[in-house]
């Protein structure tokens, strides 16, 4: 059974701090890893990672995948209160197109 | 990315009743997915809906409880039947976006927050 584990479960920081969120996985026939931001109900797509060592970047957010060690990190620099959200990691495996999600990291950024 | 809408946005229902949630996409998609997110939990896949065939349900979810329709390539419904308080959740539909060759980016609708009293 595919498994995705995120850490920490929750994190409280102050504006301007840099945070690193972790995602490890155990899946059969890995295809891709996806990061989402969930503020209210709908998860918003952030990144899709398929190859090791290639950083994906969007503004203050960046992410990288290590397929040998089976993990990914999501970095947020110069955090803002608007970054407060649950960050979800999900994995796609095999020929299936559905995603297996981790439990999420609740990030709170204080002013 | 596809634009996805869901109706209703939220509802409060009495136990024993049923609610049908609609998901509309602005472009034709092959597969649509229905997820559930119980309070404080992550997303769990309920079923995958292909147009023209029966939905495929994940372990722990059955058609009698969560019947799904997929009449065309832009629309699907999920019904939560004979509801109990344990069905109180956010229900999300999602669709495949770009095929990167290594998998699909997947996009989510705005969700339906269901409370069962």
Q: pLDDT at residue A33 above 80?
A: yes
B83 C-beta neighbours (distance < 10 Å), count:
21
> Do the domain assignments include residue B13?
no
The one-character DSSP state at B58 is P
CA-based nearest residue in chain A for residue B34: A98
Quick one: tokens of B49? 């809906």
pLDDT of residue A96: 67
Half-sphere exposure of B19 (CA within 13 A, CB side): 22
CA-based nearest residue in chain A for residue B98: A48
Closest partner residue to A97 (CB to CB) among B44, B104, B113 is B104
The nearest CA of chain A is from the CA of B15 a distance in Å of 23
The one-character DSSP state at A81 is G
Count contacts between A and B (CB, < 8 Å): 66
B95-106 pLDDT tens trace = 987 777 767 788
> Do the domain assignments include residue B7?
no
Contacts of B109 in chain A (CB under 8 A): 42
Pairing relation of β-strands A10-14 and B31-37?
unpaired
Contact B28, B71 (CB under 8 A): no
Domain carrying residue B74: 18-110
Asked whether the beta carbons of residue B108 and residue A42 sit closer than 8 angstroms, the reply is yes
Contact A4, A22 (CB under 8 A): no
pLDDT of residue B76: 96
B57-68 pLDDT tens trace = 999 999 999 999
Count: domains in chain B: 1
The nearest CA of chain A is from the CA of B16 a distance in Å of 25
Cα gap B57→B64, rounded to integer Å: 11
Second CATH level (architecture) for the domain A3-110: Sandwich (2.60)
Q: Which residue has the tokens 């209703």?
A: B8
Where along chain A do its domains lie?
3-110
Name the residue with higher pLDDT: A69 or A21.
A21
């Amino acid at each position: 059974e595919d498994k995705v584990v995120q850490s920490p479960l929750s994190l409280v920081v102050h504006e301007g701090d840099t945070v690193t969120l972790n995602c490890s996985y155990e899946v059969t026939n890995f295809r891709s890893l996806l990061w989402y931001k969930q503020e209210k109900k709908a998860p918003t797509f952030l990144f899709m990672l398929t190859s090791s060592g290639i950083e994906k970047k969007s503004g203050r957010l960046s992410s990288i995948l290590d397929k040998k060690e089976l993990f990914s990190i999501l970095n947020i620099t110069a955090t803002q209160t608007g970054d407060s959200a649950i960050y979800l990691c999900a994995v796609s495996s095999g020929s299936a197109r559905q995603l297996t999600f981790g439990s999420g990291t609740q990030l709170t950024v204080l002013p | 990315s596809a634009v996805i809408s869901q109706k209703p946005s939220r509802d409060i229902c009495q136990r024993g009743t049923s609610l049908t949630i609609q998901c509309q996409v602005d472009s034709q998609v092959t597969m649509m997915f229905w997820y559930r997110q119980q309070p404080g939990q992550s997303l769990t896949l309920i079923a995958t809906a292909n147009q023209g065939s029966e939905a495929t349900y994940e372990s722990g979810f059955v058609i009698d409880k969560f019947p799904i329709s997929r009449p065309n390539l832009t629309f699907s419904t999920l019904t939560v039947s004979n509801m109990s308080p344990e069905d109180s959740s956010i229900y999300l539909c999602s669709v495949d976006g770009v095929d990167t060759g290594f998998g699909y980016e997947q996009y989510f609708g705005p969700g339906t927050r269901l409370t069962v009293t």
